Amino acid sequence: MNNFKTAGIIIIGNEILSGKVHDVNSYYLTSELRSLGVDVRRISVIPDETEIIGMEAVRFSNKYDHVFTSGGVGPTHDDVTMAGIARGFGVKLAVHPVIRNFLNARYENNLTSAVLKMAEIPEGAEVYLEEGMRFPVVSYKNIFIFPGIPEYLRDKFTTIKDRFRDSVFYIKRLFLSVHESEFAEILNLVVSANPQVQFGSYPIQGKREYRVIITAESKSEAELNRAVAELTGRLPAEALVMVE
């Protein structure tokens, strides 16, 4: 079943773990990646600690095709994502000339040590700088390093997202007027018989027309249609409100 690209997302920041800031970046990335045909397998939220960042970055890098980090990028004391990734992979931080030149132009050659810190990236990392970017995108191996500010993350991801595009997921939604307990055995049988299709069952509150939405997704449109036909054929006719 897993013959498609996978991704892991690492959200970095004490402000997320302490409840000071609401994380919207993982939702955005997951939605965008799904629309690109990439299957997000795990989301991790970790503190601004270099050792933890390094261990998580290595673990995700080894396990998933693409890794996306958010947060911990900037000039202040708690911006340690670059240092954490470098530590995890056993490389040094080095000032990248492209980023240094970018900062020179932006700050009119008034580079303080705090500003210059933003040019330090893991040795061997790649830099992507497109016209209109507020700051370059940095990647190390299969890890793409984004800021935590949602607007900045969205701007950067939009610029490079086509490089992650894979074959699309096909999806169908079934709206049912009965409780999950009334069709669970039927759904379980269909799930077992159709390993190429991902099913989800979600109870809905506050809708008179339906009580549950079942989603079915697959990279194969034929497999999806076959599985949905089997499921609708097994369900009681009065239970199915609509399919879209």
What CATH number corresponds to the domain at position 198? Answer: 3.30.70.2860
DSSP, collapsed to helix, strand or coil, labels residue 207 as coil
Per-residue pLDDT of the chain (244 residues; tens, 9 = 90+): 457 899 999 999 999 999 999 999 999 999 999 999 999 999 999 999 999 999 999 999 999 999 999 999 999 999 999 999 999 999 999 999 999 998 988 888 788 999 999 999 999 999 998 877 888 999 999 999 999 999 999 999 999 999 999 999 999 999 999 999 999 999 999 999 999 999 999 999 999 999 999 999 999 999 999 999 999 999 999 999 999 9
Range of the domain at 206: 170-243
* Distances 53 to 24, 62, 82, 118 between C-alpha atoms, Å: 20, 14, 9, 17
- How many structural domains is the chain composed of? 2
DSSP codes, 72-95: --SSSTT--HHHHHHHHHT--EEE
Same domain, 79 and 152: yes
Same domain, 22 and 116: yes
* 159 torsion bin: left (phi>0), alpha (psi -120 to 50), beta (else): alpha
**Amino acid at position 6, single letter:** T
Tell me the residue length of the chain: 244
Same domain, 153 and 187: no
